[in-house]
Amino acid sequence: MNKTIKIKDRLIGEGQPTYIIAEMSANHAGDFNRAIEIIHAAKESGADCIKIQTYTPDTMTIDCDKEYFRITKGTWKGENLYSLYKKAYTPWEWQARLKEEADKIGIDFLSTPFDKTAVDFLEELGIDFYKIASFEVVDIPLIKYVASKGKPIIMSTGMATLGEIEEAVNAVKSQGNEKLCLLKCSSAYPAVPEDMNLKTIKYLEEVFGVIVGLSDHSLGSVGAVTAVVLGAKVVEKHFCISREIENPDSSFSMEPHEFKKMVEDIRAVERAIGKVSFKVSQREEISRVFRRSIFIVKDIKKGEVFSEENIRVIRPGYGLAPKYYEDILGKTASKDIERGTPLDWSMVI
């Protein structure tokens, strides 16, 4: 499969800067103006893309209070699925305007569809690429339908076994779609470091031959920055204006100043990773003079023998390289040499 994918005029993948996605999810807390504010804040914080989710409570589940539909553990303990999705969803009548605002300020717009009606809606919206959520990685009919649109797909793999990931990848490929990125993900909210297993990022790249990245639900930016070191080309992180604005996603979302710092750290890490090189940089060149070299440490007369008493390997590096020290011992001086003079071959007979 491809080692780069193209979104609009931008390449994502090998040799390209990390593509950073700010996930709005439920952080608008039901307020359209706040959703607009989040888009602007994400752009200002350095995000390349703002992501929403396209579903309704009825496209996700049914309104039923049987025990199967109750959440008994974790961040949303005590919630009923239908009521949770009712709180969290982004109204579909907002989404064209949200995309228009994102386009206007120059940030990519992405959504996660959760059923075929959402895909059809996003197609009418003119979306450029799709996200598949971790919970939907086993929904092979949905994945095939999304892949059939021929657009790039970013797919999270939280909770998935290797076999399930393979089935999902094959579902994309079965539609003749090679434009895929897989994201390592720990689908806990929040995720804890010991469950993240970031080494899997490289493994996914090697096994499936695709672009890889991280969908990060952990607190802080350590996971995201480490993922980039390990080869992640896409990083997705939940984004909010303030965690004090309560909603289903606020507790594990980043505020703008935190997100901005994460982006800065990722960009610094990219510069630090660089490429395989043994070329001496201009800044290193300044330091080279403080290497060790051979110096005269005691006044020497012409014809005098070089010995451990009158020459030494010391800093700075203006004399002959230390590797010649043993060769010079026992040889004689070609002229008088003052203490503190760097040794060179013209002084040696």
Q: Are 111 and 53 in contact (CB under 8 A)?
A: yes
pLDDT along the chain (349 residues), means of 10: 86 96 96 98 98 98 95 86 94 98 98 98 98 97 98 97 98 98 89 91 97 94 96 97 93 96 98 91 90 98 98 98 98 98 98
Q: What predicted TM-score, i.e. pTM, was given to this entire model? A: 0.88
Q: Where are the domains of the chain?
A: 4-273, 282-347
Beta bridge partners of 70: 80
Predicted confidence at residue 75, as pLDDT, reads 80
Token pair in block for residue 119: 């895909």
E strand or H helix that includes residue 60:
helix 57-60
Looking at the domain covering 282-347, what would its CATH class be?
alpha beta
Looking at the domain covering 4-273, what would its CATH class be?
alpha beta
Predicted confidence at residue 191, as pLDDT, reads 85
Nearest partner of 143 among 188, 111, 174, judged by Cα: 174
Who's near 120: CB < 8 A, 6+ residues apart?
none
Looking at residue 249, its amino acid is D
Looking at residue 149, its amino acid is K
Question: Which pairs count as long-range contacts for 92-96, CB under 8 Å and 24+ apart, including other chains?
Answer: 92/54, 92/56, 92/121, 94/32, 94/35, 95/52, 95/54, 95/121, 95/125, 96/125
Q: In degrees, to the nearest 5, what angle opens at C-alpha 21 toward C-alphas 16 and 23?
A: 170
Token pair in block for residue 51: 């992501």
Predicted confidence at residue 281, as pLDDT, reads 87
> In angstroms, how far is the first alpha carbon of the chain from the final one?
65
Predicted confidence at residue 2, as pLDDT, reads 67
Predicted confidence at residue 1, as pLDDT, reads 60
Token pair in block for residue 301: 């007369």
Name the phi and psi angles at 112, rounded to 5: -105, 115
Token pair in block for residue 80: 């009923």
